[in-house]
Structure 1
């Protein structure tokens, strides 16, 4: 069973990932509007959306969200290590 440190880390990491994803979606949407001059596709699965536009949006959103989640979780891990003196156990490198 997870100890209190693991549960605490899971909460911190989840909050960081959520905040990073939220911010990334806003930034990616604004960048899309600026680059294309139009709103991103609301439903990329729809056949009424051009395939190139749907794939472009999916790739940009997928990569952008994952990078934001990764960076937010790493930043949270650095703060966790500053506060506790060690990395969370799920992030310790195996040697």
Structure 2
């Protein structure tokens, strides 16, 4: 077979297949259906800002005794734990 004849046969087959595909799509009516999509929506968090406490060790001086420094650091540790709990509560209210 000649190359030109093969090309013409291929073109005719391609057009016939294309016409069948279009006819198949045109014969069916589109299906209408409702789809519910749940999308999370950002909501602004309404909490009060947690105030940073005045830390107990901020007022320490170099000349203070070791006992005073240790007591201030232990008090500051308790303050930090309480402050962290307040922050966690503020974060949990926004979830």
Structure with more relative contact order (C-alpha pairs < 8 Å, separation 6 or more): 1
TM over 0.5: no
TM range (shorter): 0.3 to 0.5
Whose radius of gyration is greater, 1 or 2?
Answer: 2
Query: What TM-score results when the alignment is normalised by the length of structure 1?
Result: 0.38
Query: What TM-score results when the alignment is normalised by the length of structure 2?
Result: 0.38
